[in-house]
Amino acid sequence: MANQDSTSPSHALFDQFVQAQTCKEVQRTFSELCHHLQVDPRDYQSFYTKLKERLNYWKAKSLWVKLDKRAQHQDYQQGEVCAKNKCLVLGAGPCGLRTAIELALLGAHVVVLEKRDSFSRNNVLHLWPYTIYDLRGLAAKKFYGKFCTGALDHISIRQLQLILLKVCLLLGVEVQTGVEFKGFVEPSGATGWMAKLFPDNHPAGKFQFDVFIYAGGGSFVPYGFKRKELRGKLAIGITCNFINRHTAAEAQVAEISGVARIYNQKFFQDLLTETGIDLENIVYYKDDTHYFVMTAKKKSLLKMGVIKQDFSDADKLLAQVNVDQEALLRYAYDAAQFSTGHCLPDMQFAQNHAGQPDVAMFDFTCMHRAENASLVRERKGQKLLMGLVGDCLVEPFWPLGTGIARGFLAAFDTAWMVRSWGKGRPHMEVLAERESIYQLLSQTTPENTSKKYSAFSIDPATRYQHVNLNSVKAIQVKNLNIIYSFY
Ligand code: FAD
């Protein structure tokens, strides 16, 4: 809805864009705004400046102040440092979009590909203090007034995607939705690296790039990268979302920022006695929805009929045919009721993207992380720098909420790598430096990263307390330069 005090059509369109609550609405209002102001978003190098000049609106000005402050950081060298680079980012999840913003600030031509055409994940992400600071700096509060009000330190995945999508568009990033990356078209004599897409006639298939950032989520990594499997003891996660009607009674119910069995034996014993539900931990966040994430014990899932038959193999155990959906809904409902002291009134499941009650069970037994964060592919003399970002780099354990914190650190580290690439540093040095920094990622916690959030930038030295950019030597990453020598 347009703000009442905006009489100019462009002001009304800007308000609609800022307030848009779906991916489609963001894209539509943005395109109408550009059309109305006669600014071409494909003109990525001067788009932001022209938009600012043509949209003389006080509400927009406070947004420009934030984005200008970020853009003026010395690391970006006025957007000159990567002005010659073309970056393809796969995935418009939070980490793909966050990386795209940094690449745009470095001056690169950035295209993001996303196979979905909507943002539908209700699940809520925990934010470390630095990510809250970072997102405030990108004007998150202007796009989402409720962003981390008071002591809140979380946000729904879809809301975070919406904020980042809006920032991306304002900075001239081209975000293409409903298009799936299927692989590479290797350089011929006349053309550079391009993408094979579905649908195959999509215009983004013509984009030639020298940097490819893979931010496609946890399921796999692209050809050339290897993953390590970290197998722990069986851990079954359940997430569920209930409608938040934002009533006074709901507001009274306290959040649970994480109760683990070892810290509160009585709570879990009482839960077991009263309901038969046996958990290792539970988190409850009040956000756009009432969101719960818990780790449940297999024995109680079997006893309560959620899992039909016992298997030692986690995939078989949690296969759809082996799960009684109704029993799962009851289990999640009862756990949510108990842990909020039966104080949440009228608990009704929110719907997921498929229009079903938003309850899901996940296997956290086996977590993956990539062995390397970067590589360079080379064909017919054309080099392609590749980087991994987000869940595909290090898969997060949701109840600990490390996904965004480590995901954004990796986004900044990747932007730092692209900066070095843009400066023309020898590519083996670029890879060695990236791998040196990557060694720190899995150990990062809010305690061992710098507390000077205002100084955070893509420069790793501003974020990690002890970073040695040369701990990995160029000679050690020879295997990360894949040269196709057949011509
Ligand atoms: P994602 O957010 O997974 O984004 C990857 C994007 O890439 C997706 O939008 C996908 O559609 C797109 N994509 C993939 N392949 C292609 C392709 N070939 N072509 C084009 N696009 C492609 N974390 C928590 O802390 N708590 C939770 O409760 C929680 N729930 C989750 C529920 C689901 C269903 C999923 C998938 C993840 C959940 N996570 C949760 C993880 C959390 O969403 C991520 O840590 C966070 O979003 C950062 O991830 P990302 O940007 O790396 O990847």
381-391: per-residue pLDDT in tens? 999 999 999 99
Range 198-207 average pLDDT: 97
Global pTM value: 0.96
How sure is the predictor about 397, in pLDDT bands with cuts at 50, 70 and 90? confident
Q: How many residues does the chain have?
A: 487
Alpha-carbon span 190 to 60, nearest angstrom: 43
- Phi-psi domain of 46 (left: phi exceeds 0; alpha: psi -120 through 50; beta: other): alpha
Answer yes or no: is the C-beta of 95 below 6 A from any ligand 1 atom. yes
Look at residue 484 in the predicted model and tell me its pLDDT.
76
Q: How would you class 253 by CB atoms within 10 Å of its CB: exposed for 0-12, middle for 13-18, buried for 19 or more?
A: middle
- The answer to whether the beta carbons of residues 481 and 378 sit under 8 Å apart is yes
Kindly indicate the confidence band of residue 1, based on its pLDDT and cuts at 50, 70 and 90. very low
Q: Looking at the CA of residue 91, tell me the nearest atom of ligand 1.
A: 7
Please indicate whether residue 232 or residue 410 has the higher confidence score (pLDDT): 410
Residue located via tokens 């947004």? 63
Q: How far apart are CA 200 and CA 191, in angstroms?
A: 18
Residue type, 87: C
Which of 195, 11, 163, 239 has the alpha carbon at shortest distance from 90? Answer: 195
Q: What is the mean pLDDT of residues 429-458?
A: 96
H/E segment holding residue 482: strand 481-484
CATH fold group of domain 233-364? D-Amino Acid Oxidase; Chain A, domain 2 (3.30.9)
Give the integer Cα–Cα distance in Å for 335 and 342: 10
Quote the tokens at residue 226.
């290897």
Asked whether the predicted pLDDT for residue 333 surpasses 50, the reply is yes
Residue 433's identity, in one-letter code, is E
User: By the 8 A CB rule, do 91 and 113 touch?
Assistant: yes
pLDDT tens for 203-213 read 999 999 999 99
> Which pLDDT score, from 0 to 100, does residue 89 have?
98
pLDDT in tens, 268-286: 999 999 999 999 999 999 9
Expressed in angstroms and rounded, the spacing between residue 93 Cα and the centre of ligand 1 is: 5
pLDDT at 58 over 60: yes
Let me know: does 185 contact 194? Beta carbons within 8 Å.
yes
- Probe ligand 1: pick from 175, 391, 402, max atoms within 8 Å of CB? 391
pLDDT tens per residue across span 4-39:
455 799 999 999 999 999 999 999 999 999 999 999
Model pLDDT, residue 485? 61
- Ligand 1 atom 23 nearest Cα: 398
- Span of 157-161, 261-265, 278-282, 317-321 with lowest mean pLDDT: 261-265
Q: Give nearest CA residue, ligand 1 atom 39.
A: 398
Whether complex ipTM tops 0.85 = yes
3-class DSSP assignment, residue 461:
helix
Q: Which atom of ligand 1 is nearest to the CA of 402?
A: 25
Residue 260 has pLDDT above 80, yes or no: no
What's 424's DSSP letter?
T
Q: What distance in angstroms lies between residue 10's CA and the mean position of ligand 1's atoms? A: 34
Is the shortest distance between the CB of 99 and ligand 1 below 6 Å? no
Q: Is 121 close to ligand 1, i.e. is its CB under 6 Å away?
A: yes
Identify which of 123, 181, 202, 412 to mutate to test ligand 1's pocket (most ligand atoms within 8 A of the CB).
Answer: 123
pLDDT for res 486: 52
Q: Where are the domains of the chain?
A: 73-227+370-484, 233-364
Average pLDDT, the chain: 95
* pLDDT given for residue 4 in this prediction: 45
Q: Minimal CA–CA distance to 181: which of 91, 110, 54? A: 91
Class of domain 73-227+370-484: alpha beta
Other Cβ atoms closer than 10 A to 332 = 26
Q: How much is the average pLDDT of 256-264? A: 81
Q: Residue 329: its pLDDT value, please?
A: 98
The answer, yes or no, to whether any atom of ligand 1 lies below 6 A from the CB of 221, is no
Can you give the C-alpha Rg of the chain in angstroms? 23
Closest CA to 141 of 159, 117, 129, 127: 159
Give the model's confidence band at 487: pLDDT under 50 very low, under 70 low, under 90 confident, else very high: very low
Determine the distance separating the centroid of ligand 1 and the alpha carbon of 173, expressed in angstroms. Answer: 20
- Ligand 1 neighbour 287 (Cβ under 6 A): no
